[in-house]
Amino acid sequence: MKRILTILAALGIALSASADEGMWLLPLLQKMNGKALKEAGCKLSPEEIYSINHSSLKDNIIHFGGGCTGEIISADGLIVTNHHCGYSSIQALSTDEHNYLMNGYWAMTREQELPAKGLSITFLQSMTDVTAALEKAEKKIRKAETDEQAIAKKMQEERQALIDKAVQANKNCTAQITSFYNDNVYYLIVYKTYRDVRFVGAPPASVGKFGGETDNWMWPRHTGDFSMFRVYAGPDNEPAEYSPENRPYKAKNHLKISLNGVQEGDYTMIMGYPGRTQRFQTAAQLEQMIASQRISIDARTVRQDIMWEAMCADPSVQLKYANKYAGSANGWKKWQGEELAFQKLDIIGRELEKEKAFTAWVNQKSQRQQAYGNALKQIEDAVKASAEAEMAVTLLTEAPYRIELVGLAGRFTQAVSRQGQDAKVLNALQPAYRDYVVDLDRKEAAALLEFFRQRASEEDYPKSLGVDFDDFATMDIPAYVDYLFDESAFTAYDKVAELVNAGDWEKVWADPAVRLFNAIMTEVMERYPAMLAPEADIDAGSKAFTAGLLEWEKGKPSYPDANSTMRLTYGHVLPYSPKDAVLYKHYSTVKGVLEKEDPTNPEFIVPAKLKSLIEAKDFGRYADASDGLVHACFLTNNDITGGNSGSPVLNAKGELIGLAFDGNWESMSSDVMFEPDLQRCICVDIRYVLFLVEKLGGATNIIQELDFAK
């Protein structure tokens, strides 16, 4: 901690900051944010938020499944997170006979809680700044070594020694060294992971995903975006693999729940695991990012349109492809919003202006020129050098590689490369067929291959597809697709298993799906050197540019880009105005659920029981005092991004008032630039969550388990 504080203080970076913008590092809260937190309205001390010596708020927060955030809300390890965070686990547990995803589910006893295979949750134990230690080690190594490869190897040994020491000192934990500020600062982070996690309950998808992709990233929202799980432990309360003998985890601490609701201007804070932001990237990098994302948008539009039509036509297909569609569509819509926001808010132009001013500042002193003068050009040249290959690889992986048959052949091939030609490789393949519909994949294949042929350069076309289909430029794609699916054993698990069990590996490797996978990967791997070679220059340039920015922007608060480490953001409940004469309130109510209802649209179906509860105003203690309605969602100006999904929204006392689940359409460029007037975090009100648990789900056992703030 002292190391980064010394760096920032020496650069003149303010050790206090206003609210709103910022994904703040927890170990630095006392020094960097203590005063600002208090001024913003927080009633907790930084020590009560993050401590490695005492129980603190951070002990309630978990990294859920590696890509979301969750929180502990009972003494017996009950977890609440977003519905879309639990989506894949719920889908995996569902069948046509027991469709928990579409119909909802509630465990009324602990025995009814369902093991979520493959799901894990992780607690943060500590974060320690090791920058000075690594710099000292590198200085010593460089005195004895001149070969960069030897230096890199010895530095890796130094890092591993720190990790090993931390693991030895922390029972049942893992450790890693993570870089911040583009490799200018390093932290040793210790985690504890639990792998026995069980599904407790969730509303039906018509509630948990109400509004679907139409409402995704939009306000106003009326989505009951939550699900509940429980973490289990061994008899010593330590991590253990799943066993019927395991018992609910006894939490160090858990969040209390406030039913007081929110008012405009109320203090809020969010703790969680934001995934990735690009606030230290250059204009050249951002231009390349937008160009690459446009390819992904167009390719996914082709695939998703076909997928959606099939899902709407058949409930069984809908269940099988619900998670695949959601996983594809979330990024697809975000990238469209980001592209639009870049245009409307002139993100590239503003970044260029910043870089122009930065360059002028650098050029004022020769010492700065030596340290930072080449950074922007180094990055720009490297981006240009990798651009063509990156675009080609993006097109290959977003179009022909998205054919599921190709993915199945690829999964099999990779399993063989790890385990050898043995029947046990079938274990890696079998689960994928549970949610595979060959006729749908056939349609997608024809469309994706045609899309690829129209968009790719001929030198990027896959080769060696088969005797009759080597010329991709002129081949009859429908005929090739028929050949591919009619002749491949990978259209069904039993066909592949028959070949493997018979030891007919020659026929396996001659399979047209394997040939197509290999042809695609050959093109990808041929372009990888051109993509990877400039990375060292990008890394070096980014490190220098970031260090320069920290020195240049002295007097301003500083926080590193998000990188899936726990952060705190604090702000307030606020409305916003997206355009002239339009003002959005800071909350929505269940009245909007009925206003949006459309029985003909799968995205806007309202369950009959929920409709009757709303019409009867049977809200119990969850109604807001101002209007007698349950408030569904609310807005804050907290600074979040992907990975914050499921994060607790806390009031000034650290009590749970909602769950963060989305950003808003007008500020989709927020990963690059924070927009204080527009950027909002969309949160589901905890009162709507508990209304759905108790009144819609009838799970009073869950309500009785919770602690409510007085």
Could you tell me the CA-to-CA distances from 317 to 94, 314, 325, 435 in Å, in that order?
13, 5, 11, 8
Contacting residues for 570 by C-beta, under 8 A, at least 6 apart:
19, 22, 24, 33, 36, 37, 40, 42, 267, 268, 269, 270, 638
Q: Output the DSSP codes for 438-489.
A: HHHHHHHHHHHHHHHHHHS-GGGS-----TT---TTTS-HHHHHHHHHHH-G
DSSP lists the bridge partners of residue 72 as 79
Residue 16 has pLDDT above 70, yes or no: no
152 belongs to a structural domain:
no
- The residue type of 439 is D
Measured CA to CA, the distance from residue 584 to residue 195 in angstroms comes to 42
Interatomic CA distance for residues 115 and 119, integer angstroms: 9
User: Does 550 fall in a domain?
Assistant: no
User: With contact defined as beta carbons under 8 Å apart, do 638 and 573 qualify?
Assistant: no
Do residues 400 and 518 lie in contact, with contact meaning Cβ atoms separated by under 8 Å? no
Catalytic residue numbers?
84, 225, 645
Identify the domain boundary among 512, 532, 552. 532
For the chain, how many helices (H) and strands (E)?
26, 21
Question: Does a structural domain hold residue 277?
Answer: no
> Residue 343: is its pLDDT beyond 60?
yes
At residue 568, what are phi and psi to the nearest 5 degrees?
Answer: -120, 135
Strand 196-202 versus strand 105-106 pairing type = antiparallel
Q: Which band of pLDDT confidence, cut at 50, 70 and 90, is reported for residue 4?
A: very low
431: amino acid identity, one letter: P
- pLDDT band at residue 332, thresholds of 50, 70 and 90? very high
14 vs 50: which has the higher pLDDT: 50
Q: What are the pLDDT digits (tens) for 535-593?
A: 999 999 999 999 999 999 887 778 999 999 999 999 999 999 999 999 999 999 999 99
Statement to judge: residues 579 and 634 lie in one domain: yes
- From 509, 532, 555, the end of a domain falls on 532
The pLDDT score that the predictor gives to residue 554 is: 82
Residue 136 covered by a domain: no
* Number of Cβ within a 10 Å radius of residue 331: 15
CB count within 10 Å of CB 526 equals 14
In a shared domain, residues 602 and 681 = yes
Percent of the chain at pLDDT above 70? 97
* Same structural domain, 569 and 484: no
| Residue type present at position 425 | V
User: Could you tell me how many residues make up the chain?
Assistant: 710
User: According to the model, what pLDDT value does residue 13 have?
Assistant: 40
CATH number of domain containing 692: 2.40.10.10
**Residue 464 included in any domain:** yes
- Identify whether residues 441 and 496 lie together within a single domain: yes
pLDDT of res. 257: 98
CA 496 from chain centre, in angstroms, equals 34
pLDDT at 70 over 90: yes
188: in domain: no
The verdict on residue 317 lying in a domain is yes
What pLDDT sits at residue 217? 96
490 and 606 both lie in a single domain? no
Q: Is the pLDDT of residue 7 over 50?
A: no
Strands 631-636 and 648-650: unpaired
Q: Cα–Cα distances in Å, from 295 out to 291, 300, 316, 459, 649?
A: 7, 9, 30, 18, 35
Contact predicate 73/80, CB 8 Å? yes
The region of weakest confidence among 15-24, 178-187, 367-376, 564-573 is 15-24
pLDDT, position 467: 76
Provide mean pLDDT across the span 115-141. 97
- What integer is the mean pLDDT of 226-254? 97
**72-81, 257-266, 415-424: lowest mean pLDDT where?**
415-424
Neighbours of 704 (CB within 10 A): 9
Measured CA to CA, the distance from residue 269 to residue 639 in angstroms comes to 9
Residue 104 is assigned to a structural domain of this protein: no
SS3 letters across 641-710: CCCCCCCEEECCCCCEEEEEEEECHHHCCCCCCCCCCCCCEEEEEHHHHHHHHHHHCCCHHHHHHCCECC
Three-state secondary-structure class, residue 105: strand
133-146 residue pLDDT tens: 999 999 999 999 88
Residue 335 shares a structural domain with residue 262: no
pLDDT reported for residue 361: 97
497, 587: one domain: no
Closest CA to 152 of 191, 183, 173, 124: 183
pLDDT at 11 over 60: no
- pTM of the shown model: 0.93
- Determine contact, residues 56/620, Cβ cutoff 8 Å: no
Domain that holds residue 66: 16-92+205-232+255-272+564-710
Q: Are residues 504 and 355 part of one domain?
A: yes
CA 384-298-334 angle, to 5 degrees, is: 85
Query: Where among 510, 532, 554 does a domain terminate?
Result: 532
User: What per-residue confidence (pLDDT) applies to 442?
Assistant: 98
pLDDT in tens, 482-530: 999 999 999 999 999 999 999 999 999 999 999 999 999 999 999 999 9
Q: What is the mean pLDDT of the chain?
A: 94
Residues 493 and 583 occupy one common structural domain: no
Q: What percent of the chain has pLDDT over 90?
A: 92
In total, how many domains does the chain have? 2
Beta bridge partners of 576: 584
The pair of structure tokens assigned to 348 is 């590239």
Residues 237 and 37: their CA atoms lie apart, in Å, by 34
Q: Is the domain of 577 the same as that of 431?
A: no
476 & 378 share domain: yes
Residue 246 has a pLDDT of 98
Query: Does 267 lie in the same domain as 298?
Result: no
Give how far Cα 105 sits from Cα of 61, 65, 114, Å: 24, 20, 10
